[in-house]
Each structure stands twice: as C-alpha cells, then as structure tokens.
Structure 1
C-alpha cells in the first residue's frame, strides 16, 4: 500500500471498506476472482482508479487484505473478547485456524486455486500478528527480547498454520480436535523458553 495513506484516518478506512465490499459483491456475482478487474471494483465502489491505487498496489493486494480481514473476523468470532496468551486461548486459536482452513478449502473454486499461495501467506501473516500481540505484553519488561518475541511469533505461527494447511488439503481422516491436541503440544514446547508459566 502507498505510504501516503494514513490507515488510521476514518475516511481512509471507509474507502478501504467500500473497495472491499465492492470486491465481495463482484465475487458473489462471478464466483471467480480472476475475472474481476480493478475498473469494475472502482466503479461499484464509486471511487476512481487513482484512489484504488492509493490504497492497494493491485487487485491481488486487495485480495490479500480481504482474506486477512475475513480470517481476522473468523478468529474474533471464535476467541474470547480479551484473549491473552493462555493454554485455553491457544487451543481455541489453533482450532479456529483448522476450522477456517477446512471451510476455505471446501469453498475454493477450481479457477481460484492459483491464488492459494497468496491466501496462505495472508492467513499466516494474520496469525503471526495475533501471536505477536499476545506475546509482546508477556515479555515487554525486557526490551532486548523484541527480536526473540518476533521470531517466536513467526515460528509458532508456522507451527500452527503448516499442519492446519496440510490437514485441510487432505482427506481429514484425523479429527480437527485431535490434530489441535498434537499441534498444541508442539506450540507449548516452542513457547517454553520464552514463557515459563501460562
């Protein structure tokens, strides 16, 4: 996204929402991401192309933003309002990732499979941000640990996302809840050097 846009400005947020809503309407009509153009998005959102490009580099950046927002809303709906880093919230988070990816795969159209890597990166990045937000207050007393916190959030995000992505692609013979139990064991072990008690 262009550096000139202040994402905290309510007008900027409204414009982004208009663009995302227009994209979603077109997606409902077409059922195919590839066939949607920037011109159609801007026309439906009643903004010009320059405004679109001030907010998004291209339609793929919009697509990534849409997927992250969709995933973020799904996580919020399955997690307690003020979630912090605890075993029970970690379990809920991991389960939410498994459920979201299963639904995502079931709804993914064959024509849109080319966007799967883009979607997966967007989802992993959103998961990373959630974990970073949970980890930061836990170690905020030591400013020297910032890099460790970021690395831990990155590793744990992949430790959760990787198995969930692999499971969602397969036949899902093992129940999500059982997979979550295994992943949680690995995640807790991965967090143990940084956090002694949760």
Structure 2
C-alpha cells in the first residue's frame, strides 16, 4: 500500500523509480529479500527514510509494487496492446500466467519462500484487474451490474491462477499448452453467464 496520493506527479514517479531500482539492484546482489532493509534501500537510492515512508508503508509494499509491475510487464509483452475479451486473448493470457509462474518458481530462493503467499495474492489481484478491464469493455445491450462484473473477474482470475500455481509447483507431467486448454474451457464456461466470448 502506498502512502502518496498524487502518483502521477513526475517527481513522485522519479522517486518511486529510484526506490524500485535500488531495491532491484540490492535483490540482485543479495539474492534474498529478507536481508534487505529500508535503510539499505534508502542509502542505495540516496533518499532519506522519511522519503521512503512517504511513498511506501514498508519494504513489503515496495516488494508488492515490484512484483505487480514485473507481472504486468510479462503479461503486456505476451498480449496484443489492443487485447479484448476473446478466446484467443484469453488463451494468450492463460499461457502468459503459466509462463510467469513457472519462471518465478524457478528463480524463487529458499530464503524467500516465506513471501510466497504475499506474492501470490499480489499477482492474482493484478490478473483480476486485467480481466476486470476486459470485462468492463465488453459491449452489452443490457446493463450489467458492476458487482457481478467484479465477482466474475475475481472468480475467473482464481480459475486461471490456481491451476497455474499448482502446475508451476508440480512435476509438470501435463504440458503447459494442455493445461492452458483445460483452464480455457473452464474459464469460458465461467464467463458465459456474464458475457459472450467470441
């Protein structure tokens, strides 16, 4: 959770970027989230602690932003810029989630396993936001209740995220493409009461 309200101010963006870059460089050096302190981050970013806390509640809030941004960029790199809710983009989205989680599991350090639930919640919420954005852009001849749209995005995000997490942790005897197809069938069925997927 960030503290500053005006995230669009260029100075705020620059400072946040400095803090993120400092955190990433420390993470590359130390290979362990737990060993990085707020003091380490502020020294590397050449800002004071008050500035850090003006932007982030604690190092875990910074960690969440970093994970969300990584995940967001990974999805964006595998999806067309003008993606909408269609079968082919849903399939690409599912594959991108499987790819990201497999890579993440591979690079996850034993000392950082305690943060796994924290990471998973942040990533699932980011996926939910992508789906909610798509659902909100679906043209409809009848008004759809926003709560229904939000609940649909939440349910579908877990329908994708849950199997992807399990697959990334397991022995992967089923191929990524086969798993993505199974998940896609469930997702389309889950979406059908709310919208028509073409």
Which category of TM-score, normalised to the shorter sequence, fits these structures? over 0.9
Shift, 1:139, TM fit: 5.3
Shift, 1:54, TM fit: 1.3
Aligned mates of 2:128, 2:152 — CA distance in 1: 9
Give the unaligned 5+ runs of structure 2.
none
Aligned mates of 1:93, 1:71 — CA distance in 2: 11
Aligned mates of 2:3, 2:60 — CA distance in 1: 18
Give the 3 Å change call, closer, same or farther, for CA 143–23 of structure 1 in structure 2: farther
C-alpha RMSD of matched pairs (Å): 1.4
Q: Which residue of 1 aligns with 2:110?
A: 110
Give the 3 Å change call, closer, same or farther, for CA 59–143 of structure 1 in structure 2: farther
Q: Which residue of 2 aligns with 1:90?
A: 90
Q: Which residue of 2 aligns with 1:128?
A: 128
Shift, 1:27, TM fit: 0.3
Local SS of the residue matching 1:138: coil
Aligned mates of 2:3, 2:41 — CA distance in 1: 22
Residue by residue over 1:73-112, the C-alpha shift from the partner in whole angstroms, topping out at 9 and shown as x without a partner, is 1001111111111100000000000000000000001001
Q: Which residue of 1 aligns with 2:101?
A: 101
Q: Which residue of 2 aligns with 1:60?
A: 60
Give the 3 Å change call, closer, same or farther, for CA 43–142 of structure 1 in structure 2: farther
What is the correspondence of 1:126-165 to structure 2 with a 5 Å cutoff?
Answer: 126-138=126-138, 145-165=145-165
Aligned mates of 1:20, 1:10 — CA distance in 2: 15
Q: Which residue of 2 aligns with 1:41?
A: 41
Residue by residue over 1:98-149, the C-alpha shift from the partner in whole angstroms, topping out at 9 and shown as x without a partner, is 0000000000010010010011011001000100110001157766511111
Aligned mates of 1:191, 1:144 — CA distance in 2: 13
Aligned mates of 1:176, 1:23 — CA distance in 2: 32
Spell out structure 1 runs of 4+ moving beyond 3 A: 1-4, 139-144
Shift, 1:16, TM fit: 1.1
- TM-score normalised by L of structure 1: 0.96
Aligned: 1:76 with 2:93: no
| Structure 2 contact 191–197 (Cα < 8 Å) conserved | no
Aligned mates of 1:140, 1:195 — CA distance in 2: 8
| Structure 1 contact 5–55 (Cα < 8 Å) conserved | no
